[in-house]
Amino acid sequence: MIADDVRRLLADARPNLVIHLAARVGGIGANRESPGLFLYENLMMGVQLMEESRRQGVEKFVAVGTVCAYPKHTPVPFREADLWDGYPEETNAPYGLAKKMLLVQAQAYRQQYGFNAIYLLPVNLYGPGDDFDLATSHVIPALIKKCVDAVNKGDDRIVVWGTGRASREFLYVEDCADGLLAAAERYEKPDPVNLGSGREITIRELVDLIAAETGFEGEIVWDPTKPDGQPRRCVDTTRAKREFGFEARTDFHEGLRRTIDWYRRIRRSGEF
């Protein structure tokens, strides 16, 4: 039972602070194939961890949500006040809603028990150590893998899902870690907070950029039978800067280069 495992963990570790980062995650394909699993596991692990943390006297709980919790057609830039103005994009709605319930729980526990729980909404993350398995990976590691592997094999084409018209915002993993720590140290309010870089890029622009950075010069074939996902994503980061001084610092091109270099090293080692 998840609850028993959580109870034992907290009893043994006796933490003052819990940052809940665990999740069952994946790209659009993985979300479409396992919506029930993504809903159940993410809901259960989060709800039970927060409940047991409250019961065992944890002083502060940082719940990490997801930009997937926003409604499908949220006006850009996404503001935290827009979070309840519609249903999430269908391909990842079960995951997004499971994570969104942590906000409801955090606010309810603060109201009833005085439990110090906060809720953060990071955009799509990327960086060294990402998941490069095409069955489960998100868009940046998937594209890096396709381009690097094509260059190494001498392939003259890659296939990319969708039309390329959708947009995304990406946050380098080290910047996200800085934001989580800053919020854990300085943020004490019930309102959700976006964590992002403030840069919107279309998937077509992203593919061209990764192809250039990896040296792939072949044909890019778009597969419009596959979904684009949410039409646009870019968040307003005003609240994070105002409340706990967070601003993303890593240049997107530099973050991509670090991620590409990491994948190439791992690939040479034989892990992929």
* CA neighbor of 137 nearest in space, from 31, 253, 261: 31
Return the closest-CA partner of residue 23 out of 46, 50, 54: 46
Catalytic member of 70, 87, 95, 109 = 95
Query: What kind and span of H or E run contains 179?
Result: helix 173-186
- Measured between alpha carbons, how far is 252 from 105 in angstroms, rounded to an integer? 34
Nearest to 211 by CA among 140, 133, 135, 267: 140
- Number of separate helices (H) and strands (E) present in the chain: 9, 9
Give dist(CA 84, CA 63) in Å, integer: 18
Q: Is 263 a catalytic residue?
A: no
Integer Cα distance of 146 and 143 in angstroms: 5
- Residue entry with tokens 């094999």: 153
Known catalytic residues are 95
